[in-house]
C-alpha cells in the first residue's frame, strides 16, 4: 500500500515544455490512491490546456486568483488547507524565484504561501538557466526551508542543449513524493463502520428513532482514513457530510443496516459498530398514514431487530469486531457482559447519563474493554477520541 493512498495532492503546474508530462503525473499519483487537484499558472496554460488536466484529475482545474466561482467553492485558502502535499511539477525558473521570494502574485504561489502542507518541486528548465547562480541560490534557500527538490535529471533538452534541467519522469516524481509520507498504521486494511441512528417506520410519515447524531462514527471514519485504511461507512440518517474518501452506504432501518453490514463485513479486516441501532421495530409498517381513532390510547406492537454487531462477530472468518456500550449505570459490568455475549474483540463504553458527553455532543470520554485490557480515554473531542481508538485497534490487529 502506497504512503500516498488517501492523501490529497495539489499538483501545481507552471510554464514549461515539461507541462505535458503533468498529464501522466496525475495518472501516476492516482495509481497510488491519492486524490489530485490541479492549479495552473497562466504560463502553464500555453503548454497544456486546463481541460486536459481537468479530465484526467476528475476535478475542476484552478487557474485564477480572483475567481468568484472558485472563491465560493475552493478559493486559495481552501485549496491550501485541502492539500496534504503541494507538488509543483514542472517548476519553472520563474516559479522557483517567486516561491523563494514568497510572492503571492498568482494562485499557485499564493497557495504555497498559505499552505501548512509540505511542498515539493520538480524543476524543469534549460541547463544554463538551471546552472545560473540566481537559480542555484534560490534552490539552496528552498532546501533550507525544507522544501523538497525532486531532480532535475540530466540529458538532452527540448531546446537542443544537453545537461541538467530535464524534469524527472512522472513515475520518478510519484515515487519521490511517496518517500515524504510514512504508510499509515492501517494501510492495506478495510474498515467497515456503522454510524448514526436507524429509523423504524410506523407508517409512511412516522417512525421510531433515537438521538444519535452520528458524530462519533463519522469521526472514526475520518481517523481510519487518516491511518491509511479503506473505509466503508454504513450510515443511518444524519445531518453530517460523509468523509470524501469513505465509500458510503446510506441506510434507514436496522434491517437495511444489517443487510449492508453483513455484505461488507465479509471482506473487511475491522468492523466498528458505532451506530445506535433501534432494538425494536413496529411489527407492521402501515402502507397508508394511520388515522386518529376515538380511543385515548393506541399501541404499536414491536418486534426485535437483529443484533448487527453480534451477527458480524458470529461470522466464520470474522473481522476484528468493536462494539459500543452506552450505559447510564454499572458501566463496567454491562460493557463487559456485552463484550462476552456479542463475541467482540473490544467494547467502547460511555456513560450517557452525563449531558456534557455522548449523544449529540462534540466531546466524549470512554473506557475501552478487551478480554484482557482496560483503557481509559479522558474527555476529549470525538475526533481525538477516534484517533486514539484507531491507534489502539491498529496495535491489536496483526499487520500484513
Ligand atoms: O446491546 P446494545 O444495543 O447496548 O449494544 C450496543 C452495541 O451493539 C453497539 O456497538 C451497537 O452498534 C450494536 N448493535 C447492533 N445491532 C443492534 C443493536 C446494537 O449492531 N440491533
Q: Give just the sign of the alpha carbon dihedral 270, 225, 7, 243.
A: positive
Could you tell me the three cell numbers for 148?
Answer: 523538497
**Topology at the third CATH level for domain 8-178:** Rossmann fold (3.40.50)
Give the whole-angstrom CA distance, residue 369 versus residue 51. 53
> Is 38:63 a contact under the CB 8 Å cutoff?
no
Which residue, 107, 226, 118, is CA-closest to 177? 118
Residues annotated catalytic, as ranges: 159
State the distance from the centre of ligand 1 to the C-alpha of 35, rounded, in angstroms. Answer: 34
> Is 233:243 a contact under the CB 8 Å cutoff?
yes
Nearest Cα residue to atom 2 of ligand 1: 325
Q: Does any ligand 1 atom lie closer than 6 A to the CB of residue 324?
A: yes
306 Cα nearest atom in ligand 1 = 21
- pLDDT at position 330 is 93
Which residue, 235, 302, 242, is CA-closest to 264? 235
The continuous run of DSSP H or E covering 280 comes out as: strand 280-282
C-alpha torsion angle, residues 62, 63, 69, 71 (rounded to 10): 80
The continuous run of DSSP H or E covering 368 comes out as: strand 363-370
State the distance from the centre of ligand 1 to the C-alpha of 144, rounded, in angstroms. Answer: 53
- pLDDT at position 72 is 59
Give the whole-angstrom CA distance, residue 73 versus residue 81. 13
Residue 46: other Cβ atoms inside 10 A: 11
- pLDDT at position 144 is 95
- pLDDT at position 357 is 67
State the distance from the centre of ligand 1 to the C-alpha of 244, rounded, in angstroms. Answer: 26
**Which stretches does DSSP call E strand in 93-227?**
119-123, 148-149, 153-156, 162-166, 190-195, 200-203, 206-208
261 Cα nearest atom in ligand 1 = 20
Give the whole-angstrom CA distance, residue 195 versus residue 241. 12
Question: Which residues of the chain does CATH 3.40.50.1950 include?
Answer: 8-178
pLDDT (tens digit, 0 to 9) for every residue of the chain, 400 residues total? 788 888 899 999 999 999 999 999 999 999 998 999 999 999 999 999 999 999 999 999 999 887 766 655 678 888 998 999 999 999 999 999 999 999 999 999 999 999 999 999 999 999 999 999 999 999 999 999 999 999 999 988 888 888 999 999 999 999 999 999 888 899 889 999 999 999 999 999 999 999 899 999 999 999 999 898 999 999 999 999 999 889 999 999 999 999 999 999 999 999 999 999 999 999 999 999 999 889 999 999 999 999 999 999 999 999 999 999 988 899 999 999 999 999 999 999 998 887 776 566 777 889 999 999 999 998 888 888 998 999 999 999 876 5
Q: Does any ligand 1 atom lie closer than 6 A to the CB of residue 273?
A: yes
- pLDDT at position 359 is 64
State the distance from the centre of ligand 1 to the C-alpha of 334, rounded, in angstroms. Answer: 13
Question: Which residues of the chain does CATH 3.40.50.10300 include?
Answer: 190-288+297-396
* Kind of pairing between the strands at 190-195 and 230-235: parallel
Q: Does any ligand 1 atom lie closer than 6 A to the CB of residue 125?
A: no
CATH architecture observed for domain 190-288+297-396: 3-Layer(aba) Sandwich (3.40)
Phi, then psi, of 41 in degrees rounded to 5: -80, 165
State the distance from the centre of ligand 1 to the C-alpha of 273, rounded, in angstroms. Answer: 7
- pLDDT at position 382 is 85
Could you tell me the three cell numbers for 133?
Answer: 547562480
Q: Does any ligand 1 atom lie closer than 6 A to the CB of residue 307?
A: yes
Could you tell me the three cell numbers for 222?
Answer: 475520518
Q: Does any ligand 1 atom lie closer than 6 A to the CB of residue 186?
A: no
Q: Does any ligand 1 atom lie closer than 6 A to the CB of residue 258?
A: no
> Is 263:313 a contact under the CB 8 Å cutoff?
no
Amino acid at each position: 500500500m502506497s504512503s500516498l493512498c488517501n492523501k490529497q495532492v495539489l499538483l501545481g503546474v507552471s510554464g514549461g515544455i515539461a507541462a505535458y508530462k503533468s498529464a501522466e503525473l496525475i495518472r501516476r499519483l492516482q495509481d497510488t490512491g491519492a486524490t489530485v487537484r490541479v492549479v495552473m499558472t497562466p504560463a502553464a496554460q500555453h503548454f497544456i490546456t486546463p481541460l486536459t488536466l481537468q479530465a484526467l484529475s476528475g476535478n475542476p482545474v484552478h487557474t485564477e486568483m480572483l475567481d468568484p466561482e472558485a472563491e465560493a467553492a475552493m478559493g486559495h485558502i481552501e485549496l491550501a488547507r485541502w492539500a496534504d502535499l503541494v507538488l509543483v511539477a514542472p517548476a519553472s525558473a520563474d516559479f522557483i524565484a517567486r516561491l523563494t521570494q514568497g510572492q503571492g502574485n498568482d494562485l499557485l504561489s499564493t497557495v504555497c504561501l498559505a499552505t501548512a502542507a509540505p511542498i515539493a518541486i520538480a524543476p524543469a528548465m534549460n541547463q544554463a538557466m538551471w546552472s545560473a547562480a540566481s537559480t542555484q541560490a534560490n534552490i539552496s534557500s528552498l532546501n533550507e526551508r525544507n522544501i523538497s527538490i525532486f531532480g532535475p535529471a540530466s540529458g538532452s533538452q527540448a531546446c537542443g542543449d544537453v545537461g541538467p534541467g530535464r524534469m524527472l519522469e512522472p513515475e520518478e516524481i510519484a515515487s519521490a513524493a511517496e518517500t515524504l509520507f510514512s504508510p499509515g498504521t492501517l494501510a492495506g486494511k478495510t474498515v467497515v463502520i456503522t454510524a448514526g441512528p436507524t429509523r423504524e417506520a410506523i407508517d409512511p410519515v412516522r417512525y421510531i428513532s433515537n438521538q444519535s447524531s452520528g458524530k462519533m462514527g463519522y469521526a472514526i471514519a475520518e481517523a481510519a482514513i487518516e491511518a491509511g485504511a479503506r473505509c466503508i461507512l454504513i450510515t443511518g440518517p444524519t445531518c453530517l457530510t460523509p468523509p470524501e474518501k469513505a465509500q458510503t452506504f446510506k441506510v434507514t432501518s436496522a434491517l437495511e443496516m444489517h443487510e449492508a453490514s453483513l455484505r461488507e463485513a465479509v471482506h473487511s479486516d475491522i468492523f466498528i459498530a458505532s451506530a445506535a441501532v433501534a432494538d425494536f421495530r413496529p411489527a407492521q409498517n402501515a402502507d397508508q398514514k394511520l388515522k386518529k381513532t376515538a380511543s385515548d390510547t393506541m399501541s404499536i406492537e414491536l418486534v426485535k431487530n437483529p443484533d448487527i454487531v453480534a451477527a458480524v462477530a458470529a461470522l466464520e472468518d470474522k473481522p476484528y469486531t468493536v462494539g459500543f456500550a452506552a450505559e447510564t449505570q454499572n458501566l463496567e459490568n454491562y460493557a463487559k457482559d456485552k463484550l462476552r455475549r456479542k463475541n467482540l474483540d473490544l467494547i467502547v463504553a460511555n456513560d450517557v447519563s452525563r449531558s456534557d458527553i455522548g449523544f449529540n455532543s462534540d466531546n466524549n470520554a470512554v473506557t475501552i474493554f478487551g478480554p484482557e485490557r482496560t483503557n481509559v480515554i479522558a474527555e476529549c473531542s470525538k475526533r481525538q477520541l477516534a484517533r486514539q481508538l484507531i491507534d489502539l485497534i491498529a496495535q491489536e490487529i496483526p499487520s500484513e
